[in-house]
Amino acid sequence: MLKPYVLGIDIGGTNTVFGIVDARGQVIASDSIKTKKHSKFDDYLEDLCHGIQHLLEKNEAEGKIQGIGIGAPNANYYTGEILNPPNLPWGEPVIPLAEKVSKALGLPVAVTNDANAAALGEMTYGAARGMKDFIMITLGTGVGSGIVVNGQLVYGHDGFAGELGHLIMKRNNGRMCGCGRTGCLEAYCSATGVARTAREFLEVRTEPSTLRDLQIEDITSKDVYDAAVAGDKLAQEIFTYTGTILGEAFADMVTFTSPQAIILFGGLAKSGELLMKPLQEAFDKSLMPVFKGKTKILLSELKESDAAVLGASALGWEAKYRSDNAGMENTASE
C-alpha cells in the first residue's frame, strides 16, 4: 500500500530545498540548506540528511514516506547520477546521487534534471493536468526543457533527451553558449541571454536609454525588465527580440511532438506582455499551417516557492531505486 507522503528535493546552484508532499500536491512542510556551504559532496549530504530527518520528526512523518524524488542539474533518470554539474561546487565529475541518498535515508529514490522535474510537477499538480503531450520550458539562468509524449517524460536512450535550450537558432555568427557551441536558444532567451542582448544593443545602437546609466557589464535581465516597464523603448525592444526568437523556436518544437501546450516557468516567464506578446506573434507567424491555432502557450500554475519541490516530489511516487538492491530496479531503464 502507498504511504501518504513523498519527499521532494530540489538541488539548485544556491539553495537545496526539500519538502514533504501529500498525494494532492500540498507541501506539508519544507526547509532548505545552502548548496555551496560544503566543498565535499559527502559533507553536503550529511547536512542535507540532517535537515530532512529534522523536518520528518517535526512533522511526525517518519515511516510515512513512499519515496524520494530529486531534481538536480544534469541528473540522469536512468543511472541515478549527476554528471559534470557545471553550477554545483563539489568538483566530482560523477556523483551517484540516488545511491547515496537512498543509503543515507533508507528510502527508494528517483532523480531527474530540474526541467524534467518541473514538467512532472506541472503534469501532476499544475497547468498540464490531464495533458498527455506537452513541453515544459524553464526560463532561468539557462533555458531548460522537459518533454512529455503519450503521458511519459521523454528521456531518450541515454537519459539526456530534452535539451531544447540548445536548439541552434543562429547558424551564422551566433553567440557563444556554455555548451561549447554557438547560436543556441539559451544564449539568447535565458535571463543571461537578455542581459547579453542588452549589452549588444547598447554597443551597436544609438538610441537613448536609461540602461546607459548603468555599468554595461553589470546589467541584468531585471534591470532590462524594470527599464521596459518604465517605458524605455530600447529595453522594450530587447524583450521583443527575445520573445521573437522564443516564438520561432517554439514553432520548430511543435513540428516534433505536436504538443497540446508549451508551458513556461521561471523568472523570465513572469515578464508579462513584454515577452508574451512578441512570443505569441512570432509563434503564430512561424507555425507550419497544419499546426496553426492548436498549441497553447501557457504559464506555470505552480507557486514558484513550491514548484521545484513539487516537481521533484512527483517522481517520488514511482521511485524504485534502493541502495540495498543489487542494481537499478527502475522499470524505465530496461
Name the site residues for a second copy (rule: CB under 8 A). 83, 131-133, 147, 149-150, 152, 154-164, 166-171, 179-181, 248, 251-253, 255-260, 286, 288-291, 294, 332
**How is residue 266 written as a grid cell?**
521561471
User: Smaller CB distance to a second copy: residue 173 or 215?
Assistant: 173
**Separation of CA 157 from chain center:** 21
User: Smaller CB distance to a second copy: residue 45 or 251?
Assistant: 251
User: Smaller CB distance to a second copy: residue 191 or 251?
Assistant: 251
Give least dist CB 290 to a second copy, A: 5
User: Smaller CB distance to a second copy: residue 7 or 118?
Assistant: 118
Distance CA 92, CA 45 (A): 14
Give least dist CB 28 to a second copy, A: 32
Give least dist CB 292 to a second copy, A: 10
Q: Are 154 and 177 in contact (CB under 8 A)?
A: no
Distance CA 95, CA 93 (A): 7
Distance CA 120, CA 332 (A): 15
Grouping H, G, I as helix, E, B as strand and the rest as coil, residue 19 is strand
Grouping H, G, I as helix, E, B as strand and the rest as coil, residue 230 is coil
User: Smaller CB distance to a second copy: residue 222 or 256?
Assistant: 256
Give least dist CB 280 to a second copy, A: 18
Report the sign of the C-alpha dihedral through residues 17, 22, 26, 30, in that order. Answer: negative
User: Smaller CB distance to a second copy: residue 91 or 180?
Assistant: 180
User: Smaller CB distance to a second copy: residue 244 or 323?
Assistant: 244
Distance CA 60, CA 198 (A): 50
Which of 232-245 are b and which e, b meaning 16 or more Cβ less than 10 Å from the residue's Cβ? Answer: bebbbbbbbbbbbb
Give least dist CB 122 to a second copy, A: 15
Give least dist CB 208 to a second copy, A: 29
Distance CA 227, CA 257 (A): 37
Give least dist CB 87 to a second copy, A: 15
Grouping H, G, I as helix, E, B as strand and the rest as coil, residue 202 is helix
- Residue 195 contacts by C-beta under 8 Å, 6 or more apart in sequence? 219, 220, 221, 223, 224
